[in-house]
Amino acid sequence: MPRLYKWILGVLVATLMTGCGVRYAYSQLDWLVPRYVRDYVTLDRVQRAELDARLAERLQWHCASELPAYSSFLRELDRSLLNGGVDGEELVMFVTQAESLWFNLVVALAPDVSDLLATLDADQIVELAQAFEKRNGKARSEYLEPDEAERQAQRVERMERRLRPWLGRMNAAQSEELGRWSASLLPTTEAWLENRMVWQSRLLALLQEERDPGVFRKSVTELLVAPDAGWPEDYRAAVESNRDATLALFVRLFELADEPQRERLSRRLTSFAGQFDRLACASTDSSRG
């Protein structure tokens, strides 16, 4: 479930955005992750104990091996912004670094998720399929039912909400830039949902087959690590185009930022970096691999 990885990082980001600290968010992951999993499938006592044990190992690995890199990344980004900002090429480099950190987390968690999925019985697989269907229906209602004008307005609203903790309220020029960005994006929502459903179907098919443990782990891990492997080329091209447009938006918004906005962004980045520094822990043998 790729969303699990995004959700783990999202917990840290969202908690900071609401005024809490990374340390608080990180300390809650040992019960927040099982709670998230429970939204998809009800685990029995043995499965829950195994999830708790593996999660403890991965959190130890993550705080020892990955959090220092998060701090370095944020400080490097802050330095570049203070030195006059970043252009599109530099921003792509930073995004590539962030994606590398993200991929490290995916690769580390995928075998554990695969092993947990291998223990699901028939009733749990049905429950997982129903959870997928429920969330797909919600996504269809939220993202596909509005007309194009509504979708454009919703994109602007969502982006403003995400940026507000970092820059504060948008000024008039930035708001205009957001509107142009939203109008320029290629339509991908329907294809996104279709490809998500294809991915879910592939996972459910693996769960319903006779399982050789080694083959199952390899197949599910590959599915988790590369969820975009089966994307059609036209959809992949549209996603890349929209990604480029969004990176160009970020460059432009910073160019249009006033001094208080830039100071706010710098404080936010250094606050993240400092909290990740304080949260980093010593490595142990059990946290590796």
Domain membership of residue 238 as a residue range: 2-287
Query: What local confidence, expressed as pLDDT, does residue 123 receive?
Result: 97
Query: Cβ–Cβ contacts within 10 Å for residue 221, how many?
Result: 19
Predicted TM-score of the model (pTM): 0.82
DSSP state string for 59-110: HHHHHHHTHHHHHHHHHHHHHHHHTT---HHHHHHHHHHHHHHHHHHHHHHH
Q: How many residues does the chain have?
A: 289
Q: What parts of the chain have a pLDDT lower than 70?
A: 1-35, 282-289
Query: What local confidence, expressed as pLDDT, does residue 231 receive?
Result: 92
Query: What local confidence, expressed as pLDDT, does residue 32 receive?
Result: 52
Type of residue found at 249: L
Angle between helices 67-82 and 88-118 (to 10 degrees): 160
Query: What local confidence, expressed as pLDDT, does residue 84 receive?
Result: 81
Query: What local confidence, expressed as pLDDT, does residue 130 receive?
Result: 95
- Domains held by the chain: number: 1
Return the sign of the alpha-carbon dihedral for residues 122, 126, 129, 131: negative
Please, are residues 105 and 36 in contact by the beta-carbon 8 Å criterion?
Answer: no
Query: What local confidence, expressed as pLDDT, does residue 14 receive?
Result: 42
Query: What local confidence, expressed as pLDDT, does residue 227 receive?
Result: 87
To the nearest 10°, report the CA torsion of 41, 45, 51, 55: 120
Of 83, 66, 77, nearest in space to 22 by CA: 66
Query: What local confidence, expressed as pLDDT, does residue 282 receive?
Result: 57
To the nearest 10°, report the CA torsion of 178, 180, 181, 187: 130
